Amino acid sequence: MLHSFWPVRIVAITALLGLGCGSSSPPEAMGGPVAMRRLTAAQYRQAIVDAFGPEIEIVGRFEPDNRREGLIAVGSAFVAVTPSGFEQYEAMGNYIAKQVVSEVHRDRLVPCQPRSRTEPDAACTEAFLQRIGPGLLRRPLVDGDVQTRVTAAAAATELMGDFYAGLELAVTSLLIAPDFLFRVEVAEAGPGFADGLRLTDISLASRLSYLLWNAGPDAALLEVAARSGLSDPDSLGREVDRLLASSRLEDGVRAFFEDVFRFDEFEDIGKDPIRYPAYSAQVALDAREQTLRVVVDHLIARKAAYRDLFTTRRSFMTRALGPVYVVPVRAEEGWEALDFATDHPRAGLLSHASFNMLNAHSGRSSPTLRGVFLRGALLCQKVPPAPADVDFSLFNEDDNPKYKTARDRLAVHSSNATCRNCHKLTDPIGLGLEVFDGIGRHRSTENGAPIDTSGDLDGRAFADSVDLGRAFRDSPLIGACLVENVYRYAVGRDPVKSERRQLRYLEGRFEDSGQRLHALLRDVAMSDGFRTATRPRRDPAVEEPAPRVAALPAEKEAT
Amino acid sequence: MSPGITRRRLLRTALRGSLGGAAVTVGLPFLDIFLNSNGDALAATGAPLPRRFGTWFFGCGMNPPRWNPTKEGRDFDLPPELQPIAKVREHLSVLSGFSVILAGETNQVHRTGVIGTLCGGAPTTTTDNIGPTFDILISDAMGSTTRFRSLEMAATGVAKDSFSRRSESAVNPSETTPLSLYTRIFGPGFTDPNASEFTPDPKMLVRRSALSIVSDDRRNLEAKLGQSDRARLDEYFTALRQLEHQFDLQLSEPPPLEACSIPDRPNETPVSQDVAHVVANHELMTKVLALALACDQTRVFNMLFSDGASRLHSPGSSDNHHTLTHEEARDPELGYQPEATRFVMHGMEAWATFVQILASVPEGDGTLLDHCLVMAHSETSDANSHSVTGLPIMIAGRAGGRVRPGVHVRGAGDSTARVGLTLQQVMGLNISSWGSKANETSRSISEILA
């Protein structure tokens, strides 16, 4: 099973080698295939806000996202729309359309007065479409977009005797259009791209704005794209810098970390109310928000090094979180800053309640789930799934009086060779967080026995949970993995072969920048792989190699 | 002249006259199909009562020695874990010993068993693009006859808890609460087939023409896409056509249905993996589903009681059903895991409740259940070892007289694809074999047929 960890070691080594390469020129790279990506719920909501303002209410249920290779951004290129999902999109779209043309909002959103309230007015309908259409479809409208809608709107107006019924139809039709619900990337042949394709300016505009703002391109970016301005690196650079300087960068950074941290799973989280009286739905919401606040404050406001997120003692607190962190919170509502003292057991992201409650069972902590998450999301290492035929009877139940702590219970796993190979990767770091219970509350004993949080991260010994944070901070994988995740998130797929060298280069630049996120995002947006493409992918079953992990027989041993 | 008729005239005039251009091309088939020359909706056709198909899933299996009957045939015994179905045994058959044949494929824990049964083959990789599940094949064969192509429900309250899929990229999400299920079916858009007067809403016509604008644009978009994205666009348009059909039904007067009545609107209920919540929500959802079927809103459904690797949980416990199956010690005297087994019993009781509710709705000469075919299944037999050998399967209902319940059939290690093949045939699919590789079979299970 150790086969699956070879890539990890290669990443580690090249990350170290990459340190000195920052000043060399970027390697040439050709991006992978473009795809059609379904908007996430957050992206849909933002598109409605951008088009119609925050006053418009969105009611309905979104189809569940699909996480692939650790990211919803990758899964979004695989999900389609089901009948029940489409039913929801139509109902949501129609409800939004009704509000947009309602008497409350029409003066603000419709740029013209119809000649008559009861008769069709093609010119006004077209003016309205030109106002909202490009933003929603993320491209300039073509004649067909406008003509079919003007004709159908006129028919609806005559049927209902209401000009605005026609506009309502036009809005609904945009909100259910596949090129609204999906970001359709298109690549074309271009000068200097003999072997492959470049993204069209319009597609690149969306890729860029979704990476940096988690939203469609604004009017200014769309305007630059419409006159092919993004093909010119200088002009592209100016747009990248404009987007990076905007306050909307926070939306993009939050969306990225929510994806990497699997925070969508908060929607289905549940904790036992008897074992965890301090837990509530509000605690879960605030724990999620707390982590995002720390990340945004650290990386964007302070422009601090990514690695220092694992040791920072700066945090934010609400009343609801007070009982979980056992700290007094003065603010009755909202957030207040809080710096944990240097001798406090809370330091760095890993001590956050969010990770510890998300990667746990409903009634107890789970060193294994935590270990799998930390390896996968933060170090980009894949832990194979448990083999099917393990004799679990060796591993005894939670309340067996013989085994007081999780460490005792998991020790049984390491006596079994089949289990040992994977559990030795997950458990030592997961056990380092055992002082945080199933909702992330601090404890120093379990069933009366002291909890030992010492361990070892790939050869680096750590004494306790705070020191585990330091071990993460010092790991060469931490920066390399962030680069890989940002890149995969940006292009919505795993890197192809020719992008691997480019990734090494980006890793080197990231280290040289002192692990500054702004610098990384700019480098990614300007990279060849981000802007170029091969032909669209064919049937994934044909072209994607089978993952090594699942195919490996469980009994293969390694020393 | 009633207001309904006036409106209908208006609608028809509008259809003929002003919904010009693109929109009229979609208006016309609607006119042809659903309205006769008098402007009345089509009357009841006098056709036989519809047959319905459904699945009912429970996670983490059972204890084979305590679940599998020992006697085959009609006077089979009910071992301890089948005791809850005693009250409905006349309505169902038990299939034991049917397996997903691995033939060298890795048993992907909590996935292979369910995918194997529903798709007729063991998945080869964890990201295998697997589908369709055979409920989709059945609903495809039925065609768009009802408002909903199928209904998916999860008593766990998690939309992702669903196995029904056209492909890996189009997994049908579950309704998550009794109220959301009720609202989807009996809320706005529901037309009572037994109402004395039918008044089509012209707004539906406008909404329908929004769909046709999108259809008109299909080719432009398709030209830009690669092969797999085109397949996803096809899925999008399949979904769109279903909604078009739904609007058409809302615009036409439905034939009266004797068995149809509208259930009480359920209250908001707590939703969690707490087994008491799941049991309560399951029962409420089943009651709504039963009347959705009686009102012919759908003919295919998938109910999930607990997910694969069931997270069902009892208040105060540090464990859930899944972790218990792996970590609870076997009681040396009892020979099984007592805590984990409690969840098996909850599942079997819920299944019996489900069958009872469908059997309590009179329809035609019998009950709703008589016109249904429901397969209960799980992803494992013994969950402790993730076994996909001898999966627990039960078949309820008579499928309109094509199936005779009340028998225990032992599969002796045959593929569960035999079950899928048989049920598809019962539902009218003209197929002689089904399944892939080692699971492919042409042997149906004749013992359960009438």
Query: Which two tokens mark B65?
Result: 């020695």
SS3 B109: coil
Are A148 and B126 in contact (CB < 8 Å)?
no
Q: Report pLDDT for A164.
A: 98
pLDDT class for A208, splitting at 50, 70, 90?
Answer: very high
Q: Report pLDDT for B2.
A: 41
Tokens 């009910």 sit at which residue?
B78
Tokens 């992907």 sit at which residue?
B108
Cβ-defined contacts of A223-226 (< 8 Å, 24+): A225/A201, A226/A140, A226/A201, A226/A202
List chain A residues with CB under 8 Å of B166. Answer: 80, 82
For the stretch A433-468, pLDDT in tens is: 999 999 999 999 999 999 999 999 999 999 999 999
Question: Residue A425 pLDDT more than 90?
Answer: no
List chain B residues with CB under 8 Å of A87. Answer: 184, 239, 242-243, 246
Q: Report pLDDT for A17.
A: 44
| CA-angle at A24, arms to A23 and A29, nearest 5° | 130
Q: CA of A385 to nearest chain B CA: how many angstroms apart?
A: 8
Query: Which two tokens mark B189?
Result: 């858009």
Q: CA of A393 to nearest chain B CA: how many angstroms apart?
A: 6
Classify the complex by whether its ipTM is higher than 0.90, answering yes or no: no
Mean pLDDT of A503-527: 98
- Please tell me which residue of chain A has the smallest CA distance to B188: A91
In a domain, B196, yes or no: no
Q: Report pLDDT for B144.
A: 76
For a pLDDT cut of 90, what percent of chain A falls above it? 78
Indicate the number of domains in chain B: 1
Q: Taking all residues of chain B, what is their mean pLDDT, rounded to a whole number?
A: 88
On whether any CB of chain B is under 8 Å from the CB of A388, the answer is yes
Question: Residue B104 pLDDT more than 60?
Answer: yes
**Which position has the higher pLDDT, A64 or A19?**
A64
Minimum mean pLDDT range among B218-227, B256-265, B404-413: B218-227
DSSP E strand boundaries for B151-234: 151-154
For the stretch A398-411, pLDDT in tens is: 556 678 888 888 88
SS3 content of chain A, % helix, strand, coil (to 5): 55, 5, 40
What is the residue extent of each domain of chain A?
Answer: 36-184, 187-246+527-559, 254-474
List chain A residues with CB under 8 Å of B330. Answer: 393
Are B313 and A158 in contact (CB < 8 Å)?
no
In a domain, B212, yes or no: no
Mean pLDDT of B45-67: 91
> Which uninterrupted H or E stretch holds A373?
helix A367-373
Q: Report pLDDT for B30.
A: 34
Q: Taking all residues of chain A, what is their mean pLDDT, rounded to a whole number?
A: 89
Question: Residue B21 pLDDT more than 60?
Answer: no
Q: Can you give the CATH number for the domain in which B169 is found?
A: 3.40.720
Q: Report pLDDT for A258.
A: 98
Q: What DSSP line would sit under A278-299, residue for residue?
A: T--HHHHHHHHHHHHHHHHIII
SS3 A317: strand
Q: Report pLDDT for A389.
A: 67
Tokens 């009609």 sit at which residue?
B74
Question: Residue B396 pLDDT more than 90?
Answer: yes
Question: Residue A75 pLDDT more than 50?
Answer: yes
pLDDT class for A173, splitting at 50, 70, 90?
Answer: very high
Mean pLDDT of A222-227: 96
Question: Residue A376 pLDDT more than 50?
Answer: yes
Kindly give, in sequence order, each residue whose CB lies less than 8 Å from that of residue B37, ignoring residues fewer than 6 positions away. none
**What letter does residue B335 receive in the DSSP assignment?**
S
In a domain, B197, yes or no: no
What region does A338 belong to: left with phi over 0, alpha with psi -120 to 50, or beta?
Answer: beta
Distance CA B282, CA B59 (A): 14
Question: Residue A559 pLDDT more than 60?
Answer: no
Q: Report pLDDT for B188.
A: 87
- Please tell me which residue of chain A has the smallest CA distance to B244: A87
List chain A residues with CB under 8 Å of B242. Answer: 83, 86-87
Smallest Cβ distance to A155: which of B20, B225, B227?
A: B20
CA dihedral A464, A470, A476, A478 (to 10 degrees): 90
Minimum mean pLDDT range among A530-539, B28-37, B361-370, B388-397: B28-37
Q: CA of A447 to nearest chain B CA: how many angstroms apart?
A: 13
SS3 A456: strand
Question: Residue A28 pLDDT more than 50?
Answer: yes
Are B173 and A63 in contact (CB < 8 Å)?
yes
On whether any CB of chain B is under 8 Å from the CB of A547, the answer is yes
> Residue B405's domain spans which residues?
50-177+269-448
Q: Report pLDDT for A394.
A: 55
- Please tell me which residue of chain B has the smallest CA distance to A78: B169
Distance CA B129, CA A539 (A): 10
In a domain, B408, yes or no: yes
Mean pLDDT of B422-444: 96
pLDDT class for A391, splitting at 50, 70, 90?
Answer: low
Question: Residue B40 pLDDT more than 50?
Answer: no
Mean pLDDT of A384-392: 70
Q: What DSSP line would sit under B86-107, residue for residue?
A: GGGGGGEEEEEEEB---TT---
Are B212 and A152 in contact (CB < 8 Å)?
yes
Smallest Cβ distance to B225: which of A393, A536, A546?
A: A536
Distance CA B306, CA B161 (A): 8
Q: CA of B409 to nearest chain A CA: how many angstroms apart?
A: 27
**What letter does residue B121 receive in the DSSP assignment?**
S
